[in-house]
Amino acid sequence: MATIAFIGLGNMGGPMAANLVKAGHRVQVFDLQPEAVSRAAGTGCIPETSATEVVKQAQVVISMLQSGRQVDSLYLSGPEPLFQRLAPGTLVIDCSTIDATTAKATAERAAAHGLDFVDAPVSGGVAGAQAGTLTFIVGGAEAQFARAEPVLRQMGKNVFHAGPHGAGQMAKACNNMLLAVLMAGTCEALNMGINSGLDPKVLSEIIKQSSGNNWALQLYNPVPGVMENVPAARGYQGGFLVNLMCKDLNIAMDLSRDSGSPVPMGAAAKALFNLHQVAGHGGLDFSSLFRMFEQRKGGE
Ligand code: NAD
């Protein structure tokens, strides 16, 4: 069993660290928010007071932060760049969803310090993090993937090697752009049904058994009262924030430009989530986009 440093204990990182404890590892944890560290201590993690403390004696470092800027600051450009503190040979797994350019640059700098770095963003939401059923999408060299895979399997069900450094982030950007399109489409279809007098529970069952079936409808219904244990059932609190979805759609738009790919559906979804964000809903789960449709009944 390994000594693992886990940095970033938010909606995703907290339950992921708890699953590593259950797998028998010594898991040292740190977050900028002390209450997140206390919560993790309650699940058997060992609380630490700084990023430099948390990595002491660690063979593996895992980060689960919000953005590329935070990842760059933690490892490279902040007041105490962590790469300077890690013993050569340390495995560094960044699970945050960030842009591929930052992931590749971080991997190059890690190599210069004798560290093994992989980008390993995840899919599966908070429920997947809690249940240990996440999908990991890894970018890195073959040998680095082989080192990271057994650790990731203790937090997830599927572990894919997408390609070299940055490939994990590129695949994740494609996935999340499609998720945004699916969630927006699911919201507008269910809202049209409700406005036409249909029961959203019955309509959801019908579409799940029909050709409009999708992940948002199956596991993350955006209409309050249809499903239990989803953000819509608790006022859209927790989950995957609108702010984070907007960040991911910006990453996807950059990728579409860099790869010369038309993304009209992704661009439409980005516009919708941006409107919802600037209306003051950035801190709600992304399925709260349903409210935007719900509040706009027209055509009479
Ligand atoms: P979150 O905001 O809940 O958690 C991020 C945590 O990182 C916060 O607690 C913050 O205090 C901490 N943090 C930031 N900088 C830090 C630093 N320098 N040192 C220590 N702690 C630091 O976010 P989340 O929902 O857990 O998402 C994390 C990442 O996973 C994001 O990139 C997101 O896009 C991605 N993601 C989220 C979901 C989801 O359903 N929430 C699903 C898949 C992927």
Q: 266 CB under 6 A from ligand 1?
A: no
Query: Does the beta carbon of 116 lie inside 6 Å of ligand 1?
Result: no
CA of residue 199 to ligand 1 center, whole Å: 36
Q: Is the CB of 74 under 6 A from ligand 1?
A: yes
Nearest atom (ligand 1) to Cα of 51: 19
- Beta carbons of 94 and 118 less than 8 angstroms apart: yes
Question: What mean pLDDT do residues 141-155 have?
Answer: 98
* pLDDT (average), residues 184-213: 98
CATH of segment(s) 170-299: 1.10.1040.10
Distance (angstroms) between ligand 1 centre and the Cα of 67 equals 8
Rounded Cα gap, residues 89 and 54, in angstroms? 17
Q: What is the mean pLDDT of residues 180-197?
A: 97
- pLDDT band for 129, please (50, 70, 90 cuts): very high
Res. 150: pLDDT tops 80: yes
Could you tell me the CA-to-CA distances from 113 to 56, 87, 89, 102, 135 in Å, in that order?
16, 9, 9, 17, 29
Class of the domain covering 3-163: alpha beta
Catalytic residue status for 201: no
Domain edges within the chain: 3-163, 170-299
Where residue 298 falls among pLDDT bands split at 50, 70, 90?
low
pLDDT at 295: 74
> Which pLDDT value is given to residue 299?
53
Q: Which pLDDT tens digit goes with each residue over 229-276?
A: 999 999 999 999 999 999 999 999 999 999 999 999 999 999 999 999
Pocket test for ligand 1, best of 9, 12, 61 (most atoms within 8 A of CB): 12
How much is the mean pLDDT over the chain?
97
Distance CA 93, CA 62 (A): 5
Predicted confidence (pLDDT) per residue in 22-66, tens digit? 999 999 999 999 999 999 999 999 999 999 999 999 999 999 999
Cα(14) to ligand 1 centroid in Å equals 9
Mean pLDDT across 59-77 = 97
Ligand 1 binding pocket includes 181 (Cβ within 6 Å): no
Per annotation, catalytic residue among 172, 208, 270, 297: 172
Determine the pLDDT at residue 113.
97
6 C-alpha to center of ligand 1: Å? 12
Q: Are strands 134-139 and 122-123 parallel, antiparallel or unpaired?
A: antiparallel
Give the pLDDT of residue 85: 95
Per-residue pLDDT tens over the stretch 100-120: 999 999 999 999 999 999 999
Q: From the alpha carbon of 70, which atom of ligand 1 is closest?
A: 15
